[in-house]
Amino acid sequence: MSTSFSALLSRIQSRQAVVGIIGLGYVGLPLARAFSQNGFRVLGFDVDPAKVRKLTDGQSYIQQIPARDIQRMRDSGFEATDRFDRLNEPDAILICVPTPLTEAREPDLSFVVNSAQAVSAQLRAGQLVVLESTTYPTTTRKVILPILEASSLDAGKDFFLAFSPEREDPGNATHSVSTIPKVVGGLDAQSTELAANLYGSVVTSVVRVSTPEVAEATKILENTYRAINIALVNELKVLYDRMGIDVWEVIDAAKTKPFGFQAFYPGPGLGGHCIPIDPFYLTWVARQHGLSTRFIELAGEVNTSMPAYVVSKVADALNDRAKPVKGSKVAILGMAYKKDVDDPRESPGFELMELLMNKGANVSYNDPHIPVLPRMRHYPGLKMSSEALTPEFLASRDCVLIATDHTSYDWSMIVRHARLIVDTRNATKNVTEGRERIVRA
């Protein structure tokens, strides 16, 4: 047992360890709050100076974390910085950066690699490094480890390395960082022990697995499971619509079975950072091993086809009312990827907007959680502000497209004043008057 291990374990158990978190977004900032609330001093790193300034001023940029929580964190020693030369200060460094796809739908590990290189430049004996970013199995061992060992320090002796996948459910008050079990897989037994003790200080339970690869594969399995089942109901939605069967009623009936069935729901496309992306990480690594994950790739094809299907339903609905898409005024309700959050990552709303605009529609939107569209990597030209959801605005639109079913929406009011509604979320199911103006998609 190395002296570095013993000293670090003691600091973690006494909560004297300083926790460094790289990436203060929808994963990193809630994690920083959890450690701060449990007595750890937290040093947060981010490349965005605007985020650092807001946090330094006690402000928040994530809806689920109020400013008062940031102020309490500051009072407990939390500090945000864009100076990565300070990475030698934390005892534990947690990497929580994005892992997007390239245009060719291959893994883009540039954020992870850049973070690892920044850590390596400052790495000292007695530090624990944990990757949380979702990625394909072997990333920790084959990508992160060589970068860190370029520092001339030895893994398992001088520093320690583990993978622990993030498990965030934005907008769900029941599931928080502290209440969701944490899977931990270390490069060796000492790394696992340190990571398990660290996370065990802030979460209800820690699930130890044998290797980083098992922990990496666990996260991919969780999200691929959801992607495949959503693809199934999306495909059934298209079929049942053609057959005149209400897929939502079918799902409601099926979920009364107390065993062997879990309800998944169709939608206008997949959103969020995980489900639309993570399965493609697995298909990519499978090709490196000479295998084809046909089932996963088929699910991806079904899910990515949903925005085009929805736009075709909008076009059909307008056509039935003797109106072309070109020149029609279409309002999209909800640009967040799921209800009651301010997170637009991979939201199908952006593709819906672009597809409609390409067909000549005059598109506007309303989202109480996203007052101005952020700059999106794949949609840099979509610059727009949320319109006030008034009866007059609704009545002035040729079609209202429901993309996200925020609970703050008054569906009765919306149906009462809109001329035509295309509902992709079954949001209007309880509205009885004006149903002749509602089209399911």
Q: Catalytic: 274?
A: yes
Q: Are 271 and 312 in the same domain? A: no
- Tokens for 216? 């990496």
| Radius of gyration, CA atoms only, the chain | 24
User: Rounded to whole angstroms, how far apart are CA atoms 284 and 261?
Assistant: 30
Q: What 8-state DSSP symbol labels residue 425? A: S
Q: Are 258 and 355 in the same domain? A: no
Calculate the CA 262 to chain-centre distance.
21
Residue 223 neighbours by CB under 8 Å, 6+ apart: 134, 274, 275, 278, 279
Range of the domain at 346: 305-441
Burial of 430: CB neighbours in 10 Å, binned 0-12, 13-18, 19+: exposed
Q: What 8-state DSSP symbol labels residue 24? A: -
SS3 at position 84: helix
Considering the candidates 155, 233, 274, 275, report the single residue annotated as catalytic: 274
User: Rounded to whole angstroms, how far apart are CA atoms 391 and 413?
Assistant: 8
Q: Are 14 and 155 in the same domain? A: yes
Partners of 182 in the beta sheet?
206
Per-residue tens of pLDDT for the chain, all 441 residues: 677 899 999 999 999 999 999 999 999 999 999 999 999 999 999 999 999 999 999 999 998 899 999 999 999 999 999 999 999 999 999 999 999 888 777 889 999 999 999 999 999 999 999 999 999 999 999 999 999 999 999 999 999 999 999 987 776 666 778 899 999 999 999 999 999 999 999 999 999 999 999 999 999 999 999 999 999 999 999 999 999 999 999 999 999 999 999 999 999 988 766 677 778 888 888 898 999 889 888 998 999 999 999 999 999 999 999 999 999 999 999 999 999 999 888 899 999 999 999 999 999 999 999 999 988 877 878 889 999 999 999 999 999 999 999 999 999 999 999 999 999 999 999 999 999 999 999
Which of 202, 13, 169 has its CA nearest to residue 94? 202
Core vs surface per residue 159-174: b (16+ CB within 10 A) or e: bbbbbbbbbbebbeee
Q: Is 105 left (phi over 0), alpha (psi -120 to 50) or beta?
A: left
Which of 325, 34, 17 has its CA nearest to residue 175? 34
- Tokens for 16? 């004297």
Q: Are 95 and 202 in the same domain? A: yes
Which of 24, 61, 27 has its CA nearest to residue 134? 27
Q: How far is CA 154 from CA 5, 66, 86, 87, 131, in A?
A: 12, 41, 21, 18, 17
Q: Are 105 and 75 in the same domain? A: yes
User: For position 191, what pLDDT does the model report?
Assistant: 98
Q: Are 354 and 299 in the same domain? A: no
User: For position 33, what pLDDT does the model report?
Assistant: 96
> Residue 298 is inside which H or E element, if any?
helix 294-304
Residue ending a domain, choose from 209, 234, 267: 209
Q: Are 203 and 95 in the same domain? A: yes
Residue ending a domain, choose from 178, 209, 240: 209
Which of 245, 193, 188, 180 has its CA nearest to residue 219? 180
Domain count, the chain: 3
pTM value is 0.91
User: For position 135, what pLDDT does the model report?
Assistant: 94
Residue ending a domain, choose from 185, 209, 233: 209
Q: Are 84 and 34 in the same domain? A: yes
Q: Are 17 and 137 in the same domain? A: yes
E strand segments, 304-432: 329-333, 362-366, 399-402, 421-423
User: For position 272, what pLDDT does the model report?
Assistant: 65
Which of 337, 349, 212 has its CA nearest to residue 275? 337
Q: Are 292 and 215 in the same domain? A: yes
User: Rounded to whole angstroms, how far apart are CA atoms 201 and 124?
Assistant: 23
User: For position 270, what pLDDT does the model report?
Assistant: 81
SS3 at position 102: coil
Is there a contact between 404 and 337 (Cβ–Cβ < 8 Å)?
yes
- Tokens for 293? 């994950």
The single residue listed with the structure tokens 């939502």 is 248
Q: Are 205 and 269 in the same domain? A: no
Q: Are 215 and 225 in the same domain? A: yes
Q: Give the CATH number for residue 274.
A: 3.40.50.720
Residue 21 neighbours by CB under 8 Å, 6+ apart: 28, 31, 32, 35, 42, 43, 44, 45, 93, 94, 96
